[in-house]
Amino acid sequence: MGGPNSGRRREGKAYVGCTPALHVSNLRKVGALNSGFDGVLSWPVVGDVAARMIGRALSLAWDLDGQTVTHLVPLSSSPCNYGGVRIWLICPSCGARGTALHLTTDKKHIACRHCCGMTYQTKGADIVGRGHIKRRKLFRRLGHVGPVYRYDDVPRRPRGMHAETYGRIVTAIRAAEDRIDRAFTESVGPLLYRLLMRSAGG
């Protein structure tokens, strides 16, 4: 079956977000962290995932090419500074705690990003690249699905989202677009100047 890193791309590290992930916040929303939970989660790549709380661990099972893949994700908790409890997912591979576990690209394992050999897409990206990544994330917060192109219109306010929240997201999108345009202009400006000078001299 291989370990978590067996799903890593040979040409380089996979990016966080290239495969589905378990997030504490999302699990809370659907009640999957509640004692006695027994239900089904949906992952875009895997499909239906049977989930059940067993003591202080979340049991997961999904079908892969006719075989059932099962994993047991231990949970831990720690007190918050101002009251309440923070829930952590324990990586089945290394035992590190975190707020997310990722599905490996071979769809056989779930582990932390370090065990999956994943890195953040912003690492190694230039200013223009980071701007596009930021813009895509903001579009996703507004419910956009699929690729995001530079001149796509900002999505409409999702149902249930406060107008103030929507306004902040739109402002952040416009700021990211300004950074993209400014960085692009600064990068191609000298090249255009040289081309124009060369044409004038020719």
Answer yes or no: pTM beyond 0.85.
no
Cα distance between residue 125 and residue 133, in whole Å: 9
Mean pLDDT of 86-115: 88
State the pLDDT confidence band at 188, using cuts at 50, 70 and 90: confident
Give the integer Cα–Cα distance in Å for 5 and 3: 6
Of 137, 142, 135, nearest in space to 174 by CA: 135
Do residues 72 and 81 make contact, with C-beta atoms less than 8 angstroms apart? no
Identity at 34, one-letter amino acid code: N
How confident is the model at residue 202, as a pLDDT?
52
d(CA 135, CA 127): 12
51-64 pLDDT, tens digit per residue, is 999 999 999 999 99
The closest alpha carbon to 20, from 41, 51, 39, belongs to: 41
- Is the pLDDT confidence value at 30 over 70? yes
